[in-house]
Amino acid sequence: MSRLSGLLANELPKYLVLLIWLGLNVFLFVYYYLFYDTRPEFFYTRILLGPALALARAPAACLNLNCMLVLLPICRNLLSRFRRACMCCPRRVRVVLDKNIKFHRLCAYMIVLMTLIHYYAHCFNVDFFTSVYRVPLNSRNTTTVSKLRWRLTQIGGNNYLNPIRSDVWSVGAVFLLTGGWTGVIITLSLFFMVTSSVELIRRSYFEVFWYTHHLFVVFYGFLVVHGISRQVRGQTPASLQNHNVTFCSQHPDLWPNPPCPLPVFQGSEPMTWKWVIAPMILYVIERIIRFVRFTQHVEILKVIKHPSRVVEIQMRKSGFFAEVGQYVFIMCPKLSNLEWHPFTLTSAPEENYCSVHIRIVGGWTSDLSKALGADGEGPEVLPSWKMPRIAVDGPFGTASEDVFTYPVAICVGSGIGVTPFASLLKSVWYKNLNPEKELALKKVYFFWICPEVHAFEWFGDMLTHLEQQLIETGQQNLIEYNIYLTRGWDAKQAKTIMVHEEDERDVITGLEQKTNYGRPNWDDIFMKVAQTHPSTHVGVFFCGVAALSHELHRMSNKHSGNGVVFHYNKENF
């Protein structure tokens, strides 16, 4: 029972959304499967196609739902506005918004699954349509079913049932049908989008992922026209009244004489465009907003080269205001007019500029460093009038925005994942300088886990400055920070650390707070926080590697209880 409060706070919202989403998919699949498998107007269609008819149409309904939903989580401006509108809502509602990328992926996985079922079912359907023409002439009258299938295939004009009107090869028949060749293009587009989205390609070849993912324009374009020819056909209501399928299906020799006139068929109305038109319009608006922001002037105030291949860019943009921990997308037209890359803001809202710290690790970041003149060995960079133009889209909301709604916060950064907390820590100090407005946030426990010694260099200066400011204003207890070095020291450095163990300041960081070596004992840390702050809602904020995220998530659930609730929040962008 002690973990129940943690599970309710951290797991219930996302699993509730997941259950609703799965429930809708199951409902649509079952409903439309039974619809096409039992309705009388599709009786003769089932004679030709068998169970493949219902097995093709049921996943099509699920595809409509998920193709509608998959666009919404990537409408960043829509989500940011919705987050601001929900600031008066319970924290659990806002936590769900932080799972937008995961939900986008879930919808994509469902699209892949339903596309496979839909695709293979229609492969059988096309083969069944063409197989009627492959029946030898001397065997057409052998059985009632054979005669019935032949009769149905001979219905011509606009009343036809079989859209394939001649003896052709099944594969060739696919490209004779509008739904066939558009379906091939849709499936190929989906294949390239999905395969280029795997983590290996996304991390190592971001440009491949970025460009290939824009095949969604092709995907949605052909998706809208996929069913325009209405090739899935059923008997009209008037024909059902004049043509009794129960009797006439047993007596195909009576066709087209009374009481069995030829049945009349019509195509099912295309529905996909009705599902996707609204999110497509929202996404177009999203792109228009991005284009407007692309045209807005961004002034580069300063470019600072930090150790460990980290470059800081300080900028100013008219009308730009960001909350703590938010992120922006940056694009440099000199490098590419299409590539936008996300970076967390490291400046506080109280500062008169915005800044990002960019680690030079890939092709685009290396090219940007060169364009800024920050790729050389010396500290000099290009003068401001020679700087390339930069476009900024954002800011966009993250979980860190909610930090000031908790009385106690545990902030954990791993490696470069510390960047959101640069903004947060500075803003906490700025806000506490204003005695007229009392903050709900009374205590911040900050943990920085670094994989190597050099990772301290660029962030250490900011912490040193913040430490001095806290001491000068008598607010040393406001932020308790703990630094952990997990690896990267050699025997010589170990001896130096031991010699300077008694020094007032840490030999590596220069801070009064001494560096810890190894990994934190999260069980002890969470237990201590729970004992120090009984009956308190504690916000846990993390940015970094997935393995540590899972551990902190588990700790938040494990140590919630007896009035203390740890609310886990992870940065996603």
Residue 407: CATH number of its domain: 3.40.50.80
- Does one domain contain both 333 and 259? no
Where does 473-521 have alpha helices with state H? 491-499
Q: What is the CATH number of the domain that holds 333?
A: 2.40.30.10
In this structure, the dihedral spanned by the alpha carbons of residues 214, 219, 221 and 223, taken in order and rounded to 10 degrees, is: -160
- Same domain membership, residue 73 and residue 159: yes
Q: Is 336 helix (H, G, I), strand (E, B) or coil?
A: coil
Do the beta carbons of residue 348 and residue 430 sit within 8 Å?
A: yes
Residues 360 and 465 in one domain: no
To the nearest 5 percent, what fractions of the chain are helix, strand and coil? 55, 15, 30
Nearest to 431, CA basis, from 348, 322, 316, 533: 348
Nearest to 414 by CA among 573, 546, 521, 572: 546
Q: How far apart are CA 243 and CA 251, in angstroms?
A: 12
CB of 467 within 8 A of CB of 511?
yes
What pLDDT, on a 0 to 100 scale, did the predictor assign at position 455? 55
pTM: 0.82
Residue 472 within any structural domain of the chain: yes
Please count the residues of the chain: 573
Sign of CA dihedral 491, 492, 493, 496: positive
Is 214 a domain residue? no
Q: Are residues 386 and 470 in the same domain?
A: no
Residue 193 domain-assigned (yes or no):
no
Q: What is the pLDDT of residue 500?
A: 44
pLDDT block averages, 10 residues each, the chain of length 573? 61 86 96 94 89 92 95 86 70 74 92 94 86 59 75 82 73 76 92 89 80 91 88 88 88 84 88 91 90 88 80 87 86 84 86 85 83 70 77 83 85 79 80 71 84 61 70 73 70 48 52 70 90 87 84 86 84 65
Residue 259 lies in a domain: yes
Instruction: Check residue 38 and give its pLDDT.
Output: 92
d(CA 134, CA 132): 5
Q: How far apart are CA 447 and CA 532, in angstroms?
A: 17
Answer yes or no: do 455 and 328 share one domain.
Answer: no
CB-based contact 419:543 (threshold 8 Å): yes
Residues 95 and 46 occupy one common structural domain: yes
Q: Which H or E run contains 392?
A: strand 391-396
Are 249 and 305 members of one domain?
no
Does 532 reside within a domain? yes
- Taking residue 216's Cβ as centre, other Cβ atoms within 10 Å add up to 18
Q: pLDDT at position 59, please? A: 95
Give the pairing of strands 443-450 and 516-517: unpaired
Check whether residue 23 and residue 129 sit in a common domain.
yes
Tokens of 45: 């269609």
C-beta neighbour count of 504 within 10 angstroms? 7
Q: Are residues 126 and 85 in the same domain?
A: yes
* Domain finish residue from 362, 396, 430: 396
The answer to whether 558 and 526 have CB atoms below 8 angstroms apart is yes
> SS3 sequence, 180-231?
HHHHHHHHHHHHHHHHCCCHHHHHHCHHHHHHHHCCHHHHHHHHHHCCCCCC
Is residue 459 assigned to a domain?
yes
What confidence score (pLDDT) does residue 495 get?
47
8 Å CB contact between 408 and 563: no
Q: Which domain holds residue 29?
A: 4-177+229-279
Asked if residue 151 lies in contact with residue 252, where contact means CB atoms within 8 angstroms, the answer is yes
Tally the C-alpha atoms within 13 A of residue 463's C-alpha that lie toward its C-beta. 26
Do 73 and 131 sit in the same domain of this protein?
yes
- 327 and 244, same domain (yes or no): no
Answer whether residue 535 is part of any domain: yes
Same domain for 392 and 320? yes
- Last residue within a domain, chosen from 245, 279, 313: 279
Number of domains in the chain: 3
Q: Smallest Cα–Cα separation from 410: which of 551, 507, 517? A: 551
**Domain assignment of residue 498, yes or no:** no
What integer pLDDT is reported at residue 336 of this predicted model?
A: 82
